[in-house]
Structure 1
Amino acid sequence: MTSSADPHAMRRLADDLARPRQDIEAAFVAVGGRLTDGAALLNKLSKLFEALPQTLGGEQVEEASSHLRAVASRAEHLATSFAQEKSDLARLAEVVAAANSPISDLKRAVKMMGIVSVNARVTAAGIVGDSDDFEVFTTDIATLSDSASRTIQDFAQVYRQLTAEVDRATSQRARFEAAHADTLTHLGSSLGSTLVALDQQRAVALESSTETGRVSRQIVGRIGSAVMSLQVGDATRQRLEHAELALTSMAELLGGETAFDQTLPADQHETALAALAALQHQQIAATAQSFAQEVEQAEADLSALAADAGTIMARSRDFHGDERGTSSAVASLSAQLRRAVTILADFEAERAKLEIVAQAVQETVKTLLEHVAAVQEIEANMRLVSLNAAVRCAQLGPRGASLTVIATQLRELTSETVIAAEAAMARLGESSTLAGSFGTATDQGSGQIGELEEQANLALDILSTLDQALADALKRLNSDGPKVIKLLEAAAGGLSGQSAMAETLDDIAIATAALSTQAPPAQLTTELSAILASLRKTYTMEAERQIHDRLFAATSSAQSAASDESGKAEQEADLAEFML
């Protein structure tokens, strides 16, 4: 009997309870931390991918698709007009080249005028005396010839510039067409095919969203169940702490010390030990049973949660693109749009070059017309000079015959100059008309290209933002997904050895019952009743209170009834004394 009431044995049992309590507490804190971190990451990923299908099916994507269909349709129309421009440019080159022949005649006639002018000065110097006034041959003809030569040189220089500009434009267009043969046509068909792929991916995304939502809701439920299951760790810790307190307090009381502001007479030690041993046996055994059931459920919930996390991430990867999550119709369409914008910019630049050529042709023809007017003025002056020269030659008689021939040649060459200039301008006038109509068409086409490029850029901005969102989501998935699974699997693994703790607690419960061979007392002493009442106040779990009340309910009720009778008798005695 004495050994069974040994305070040291009770303290050893309290220490035995402290070790599993600490292990359970550490394990559940670690599991709870992993569950919290994993659930937070999984929640972010679920919300991220649930929102993406709405983005794919939103108004912005519809707007982008509309822009792209316009680009595809009008790109094919633009290809047809670009082919017409090729024909117009070839005709322009032919017309400008055709002016080369009359301009060559013009240059030859002016050169001959210079030679005749020199002959006129030499001849006039040989036959004219000091008293003769033949300045018309020595000065006027030379002056007009030099003026005509300078004018035609300027004319020829401007023409050479025009020819070089047209030839350069023709060569550039040829190189451009070699590099972009059927580009616009292929662009339209390629965009159309990719738009179909985008529509298909959007349909898959909407379907995937439904499944993702279902799994997400299931995960939310499992998280709630897991959190509830993990509460058994804290509940077990508190119940074991109360059992430790009870054993430690009993050891102190049996050792003659004070506990719960009470001391226990030696003659009540065995009774109190029987009561407390029975109480703690039931408390610890019930704690072990509850812990075993709840920890098994928590482990199952966490394992299922890890499996669901893997499912939702696999669904999300399928939704984004291929099985590796590295491609999507949006990414492909964005790449094609970037290429389309580059192509459209190239076409616009090429057409701008033609517009420059058209402007150059018109400006050049305008300049050449000014030169032709100067030639016509020179021709009129040359006719007056020739007429004056004929009068002077008639005054000289036979001596002026050679000068008469020279004057006649000058008139003929002057006429040839005018004819050649007008022939050249006839050709170039046609080129000016062609350039005018060509420039108008280019202005219209340039506006179309600018509009197409604007639409493509609008669509590209929208899809680039969307594709970036998809890429960010995939990056987050590849980064956080493995972390989520690892955390949840680790959380489940952290509970794998906890069921053995229930067996340890059962062993301690049996050892606690063995502290006393007596049955719990039917009547509680005042001291023991106060100790048990103080012990009950430390409980935080309803299950603890129920066990306590079941074990000591009858005793507590009888004592309460006796106390009530005693109090009633005292009240009646006091009343009788008051009446007397």
Structure 2
Amino acid sequence: MRATFEVDNGIGGAATGVGDPGLARLVAALEGSAREIDVTFARAGSQLGEGLSLFEGLKERLSTLSAELSGTEIADAGKSLSGLAGELRAINDGLRDETGVLQELTTHSKAASLALDRLLEHMRLITILARSARIEAVSVQAAGRDFGDFTSEIVALTTQAQHTIQSCARDHDHLSALLGSALSAQRDFEGRYGHALSGLADNLEQTLAEVAERQRRSVSLTSDAAAHSGKIAMAAGGAIIALQSGDSIRQRLEHVIKALRLLGSLDGTSGPGADFDAVERGAAGLVLRRLQAAQLDESALTLAQDADAIESALALLAGDTAGLLDLVRSLYQGDGGGKSERSQSGSFLADLESDLAQASDLLGKCDRARSGVDRVTSALATVLETCQQTVAALAGTVSSIVLIGMNAGLRAARIGTGGRSLVVIAQELKVAADQVATDANHLTPTFARMQEASAGLTRGGRLDAAHFAALDEAMRSSLSAMRQTGDRLGATLGQLTREGGGFSAVVADARLSFSNAGAMSDLIASGAVELARGAADQEMPSRADVAERVRGLVDAHIWPNYTMVGERTIHQAVIGLLLPAQSGAAAPVVVQSTDSLDDFLF
């Protein structure tokens, strides 16, 4: 509700002295408004100055955040972790490759086991035939021929070959057991963790992509922040200029109050206007009322305009600061607008730390699983070498057995019927030896294929224990760098949030300080209306000397108080209407301001 003042008309016999209640209330209200305007504008100016200091801290924090996120430390860690994602995929691919190698080795090993079993069977048959030949040799010796050397040599060769094959078979059985165990463990590990390795690689790449996206947005934030900072600086500058008008409004009210006190003293017996008659006092009251009504009306309008400008500037400050902080929070804390649940969490460093902890655990499991393959690799080299030597030696042994058997058979055939049994045994030895040669020939390519396949377990760059250790160390180092960067980001973001909150609170307090500016403007405007209403039906007297007397009073006691061009302009406009200058009369000189922002006369 607009406040109003009851101001009695002091023209036409209704004198308004110092004791006029309506005029006294108006003066008291204007004095209160002047003090409140002075306090309000000073408090808001102080708060805005404090806010601008806080805003400088905000800009510094933003620069720190951007530098942290785009710094070389986090970039190097990102490269290392990107390499880790590739390593995890390589481990997963290597698992499949090693499983294939183990499967191929197992297949060849089974074929070799069957061939070795047949060899042992053939060697047992040869051993039986050699013993039979020894028995037959005794009979032939009784007939005058000595075949003892023949049988002893075959038995010795057969026994030696059998022992060699048995040793090779035992080693191969051990290898087969290792292969079976390693293949089972490898399949179990691949089934349990193969998908985890590829999934973890996906997660790491996704998190690193989120880091890269935030780095890109950090660069964009710098330009966005500059735009916001520019708007905030302009708003603050506008608010500061508007706040400077508080002093001019206060001075205007003080000048009006002084003029109203002059109005209230016109009926006195001393002081200005004490020698005025009733007509002159009425005319002076009319001029003072209309003149101060115009000054109050302009003051109310100026206050309303300045209050609106300041409120708009403070609203812009509050809105742009909130927008700037929202940009920062969305960048460093997450805005829920990501493409996945992980990016929506906003805590990309926490996600990364969880991923790396899982990676470390998986690398440990991979290292332990690798030990079984290493045992196969170590045994495979020895067994293949032994078995290949056995096969190579066996070929010579078989050739010797066949050659000795053929010679013995030829010698026994010359004996006739008595050597027939030895001839038969010699032929059976040759058949058995041929079968040994056939199976030995089958073993040779089998062992060669195993040797070739085993290269997949011993190739250069294979993920061995040293490689796993290096990966784990690089991962831990990167995690430490990320964690330290995250701690600094968190601390800086916390400080920025506190400073931003402080700045917003200061702006809110300043806006609250101006919440009654509109009411003060209405109060001043109401006083102007009441003053104008008191003189609305009055006219200046027609006496020629009255205008000159009133002009002298105004020029002596009102005009010198003005300190602003606006006051003088309004004064001259009102006086020009009520007290037109007579020919030859000098009018007060008005100094025009050349600067639209300068409302003061210096």
1:287 deviates by: 0.7
1:286 deviates by: 1.1
Residue in structure 1 matched with residue 154 of structure 2 by the alignment = none
1:289 deviates by: 1.9
- Residue 561 of structure 2 aligns to which amino acid in structure 1? L
Pick from 223, 228, 231 the counterpart of residue 218 of structure 1.
Answer: 231
Deviations 1:24-69 (A, max 9, x none): 4455456556655666556644553465345433433322222223
Distance 2:327 2:69 in 1: 16
Gaps of 5+ in 1: 88-169, 353-440, 562-580
Q: What secondary structure sits across from 1:266 in the alignment?
A: coil
Q: What secondary structure sits across from 2:276 in the alignment?
A: helix
- Residue 333 of structure 1 aligns to which amino acid in structure 2? L
Distance 1:42 1:556 in 2: 61
Deviations 1:513-541 (A, max 9, x none): 537864793466767543235423xx3x3
Distance 1:187 1:267 in 2: 101
Distance 2:38 2:570 in 1: 23
- Residue 543 of structure 1 aligns to which amino acid in structure 2? G
Residue in structure 2 matched with residue 521 of structure 1 by the alignment = 547
Residue in structure 2 matched with residue 296 of structure 1 by the alignment = 308
1:17 deviates by: 1.3
Cα RMSD for the two superposed structures: 5.4
Residue in structure 1 matched with residue 82 of structure 2 by the alignment = 69
Pick from 299, 315, 330 the counterpart of residue 318 of structure 1.
Answer: 330
Gap change, CA 1:281 and 1:192, over 3 Å in 2: closer
Instruction: Output the TM-score relative to the length of structure 1.
Output: 0.52
Distance 1:208 1:509 in 2: 51
- Residue 227 of structure 2 aligns to which amino acid in structure 1? R
- Residue 239 of structure 1 aligns to which amino acid in structure 2? R
Gap change, CA 1:451 and 1:306, over 3 Å in 2: same
Q: What secondary structure sits across from 2:233 in the alignment?
A: helix
Gap change, CA 1:557 and 1:487, over 3 Å in 2: farther
Residue in structure 2 matched with residue 142 of structure 1 by the alignment = none
Pick from 561, 566, 571 the counterpart of residue 543 of structure 1.
Answer: 566
Gap change, CA 1:228 and 1:461, over 3 Å in 2: farther
1:297 deviates by: 3.5
Gap change, CA 1:197 and 1:323, over 3 Å in 2: closer
Distance 2:530 2:481 in 1: 73
Pick from 459, 472, 491 the counterpart of residue 478 of structure 2.
Answer: 459
- Residue 320 of structure 2 aligns to which amino acid in structure 1? D
Is residue 292–residue 502 contact of structure 1 (8 Å, CA) maintained in 2?
yes
Residue in structure 2 matched with residue 200 of structure 1 by the alignment = 213
Is residue 302–residue 488 contact of structure 1 (8 Å, CA) maintained in 2?
yes
Distance 2:320 2:273 in 1: 58
Q: What secondary structure sits across from 1:60 in the alignment?
A: helix
Distance 2:574 2:213 in 1: 70
Is residue 226–residue 298 contact of structure 1 (8 Å, CA) maintained in 2?
yes
Residue in structure 2 matched with residue 566 of structure 1 by the alignment = none
Is residue 50–residue 212 contact of structure 1 (8 Å, CA) maintained in 2?
no
Q: Does 1:505 align with 2:524?
A: yes
Residue in structure 2 matched with residue 241 of structure 1 by the alignment = 254
Pick from 266, 274, 284 the counterpart of residue 275 of structure 2.
Answer: 266
1:304 deviates by: 4.2
User: How many positions carry a matched residue from both structures?
Assistant: 391
Gaps of 5+ in 2: 1-10, 103-181, 338-343, 372-459, 589-602
Residue in structure 2 matched with residue 7 of structure 1 by the alignment = 18
1:452 deviates by: 3.9
Task: Tell me which protein shows more helix as a share of its residues.
Answer: 1
Residue in structure 2 matched with residue 151 of structure 1 by the alignment = none
Deviations 1:265-308 (A, max 9, x none): 42277265455444322211211122223323333443444343
Pick from 553, 558, 561 the counterpart of residue 532 of structure 1.
Answer: 558
Deviations 1:312-362 (A, max 9, x none): 33333322213398523334224434555677789999999xxxxxxxxxx
Q: Does 1:558 align with 2:569?
A: no
Is residue 67–residue 458 contact of structure 1 (8 Å, CA) maintained in 2?
no
1:474 deviates by: 4.7
Of 478-487 and 63-72, the range deviating more from structure 2: 478-487
Q: What secondary structure sits across from 1:521 in the alignment?
A: helix
Q: What secondary structure sits across from 1:7 in the alignment?
A: coil
- Residue 312 of structure 1 aligns to which amino acid in structure 2? L
Is residue 243–residue 283 contact of structure 1 (8 Å, CA) maintained in 2?
yes
Distance 1:8 1:518 in 2: 25
Distance 2:568 2:521 in 1: 21
Is residue 62–residue 496 contact of structure 2 (8 Å, CA) maintained in 1?
no
Q: What secondary structure sits across from 1:546 in the alignment?
A: helix
Percent identity of the aligned residues? 22
1:494 deviates by: 5.1
- Residue 65 of structure 1 aligns to which amino acid in structure 2? G
Taking the TM superposition and a 5 Å limit, the aligned residue runs for 1:103-114 are none
Distance 2:35 2:361 in 1: 68
Is residue 68–residue 489 contact of structure 2 (8 Å, CA) maintained in 1?
no
Distance 1:250 1:349 in 2: 104
Is residue 201–residue 329 contact of structure 1 (8 Å, CA) maintained in 2?
no
Distance 1:556 1:241 in 2: 33
Gap change, CA 1:25 and 1:277, over 3 Å in 2: same
Pick from 41, 51, 65 the counterpart of residue 52 of structure 1.
Answer: 65
